Amino acid sequence: MKLRVYLVDDEPLALERLRRLLEKSGRVQVTGSTTKPEEAVAALALDPPDVCFLDIQMPRLNGFEVLARLPRQPIVIFTTAYNQYALQAFGENAVDYLLKPVEPETLERALNKVERLRGAGPAAQPDLQALLRQITDSLRQSKVEFPSRIASRLGDRLWFLDLDRVSHFYAEDKLTYAVSEGKAYCVDHAIAELERKLDPSRFARIHRGTLVNLAWIMEVSSLPGGALNVRLKDARNTDLTVARDRARDFKARAGF
């Protein structure tokens, strides 16, 4: 039997992307969705699904506040733009989380986890209130050490680049490059790995294959269809594109 799922995200594009990925998986029945957290409280209380995909950052009520208002809580998979270093508590519990924009591989992992959890019976399902307390404590106490340099291999030699001088990273032909002072240096990390590894207050993923140093941004302009153009303050005034499905998170991270 398919899992009955309900989706909550205040960003319509993110909600539609998640619905599309879930329907494509063929493993779930989407019973409903909303961009309004107040509507989510009413719908989830009236007809609790097997699983709720729930955004954390929403106006008026955040994801934790939505859950606090429910008389009975479903299994929850949080969707979030937070860096996963700060959310290590999720990885230690039965509740899962997905970084936005959601990718098919991580969605598949989350659905597998839910099915294992349901197969183990009610006793194995999480104490949500205890989990939320643990997450709060983790966010308060977590002090993550982020690297200040990154290595680039050139033959049998390693060059170490100061991350302050790296304007952006990009992927091309299955390789990843760090751009520093106008030169591109090959690094041994995929873009997704760099997104996890680097300080999220300094580096933001703006495209599937691009990670930008926020300190190097000179100006931002709108593009047709909801995407953005970022111009860097390097010698070439490099232009980079912020994908439409990453624009909202980028604006929040960049402070506008």
Q: What is the DSSP letter of 9?
A: -
Phi, psi angle pair for 103, to nearest 5°: -105, 150
Domains in the chain, ordered, with CATH?
A: 3-141 (3.40.50.2300), 149-254 (2.40.50.1020)
Tell me the pLDDT of the chain (256 aa) as tens digits.
Answer: 889 999 999 888 889 999 999 999 999 999 999 999 999 999 999 999 999 999 887 778 888 888 888 888 788 888 876 655 445 445 434 367 787 778 888 899 889 888 887 776 655 455 555 665 655 555 555 555 789 999 998 878 888 999 999 999 999 999 999 999 999 999 999 998 898 889 888 999 999 999 999 999 999 999 999 999 999 999 999 999 999 989 988 887 776 6
pTM, to two decimals = 0.52
Predicted confidence at residue 46, as pLDDT, reads 92
What count of other Cβ atoms lies within 10 Å of the Cβ of residue 2? 11
Predicted confidence at residue 128, as pLDDT, reads 56
Tell me which residue has tokens 């680039």.
152
* 85/5 Cα distance (integer angstroms): 27
Q: How many CA atoms does the CB half-sphere of 130 hold within 13 Å?
A: 6
Burial of 46 (0-12, 13-18, 19+ CB in 10 A): exposed
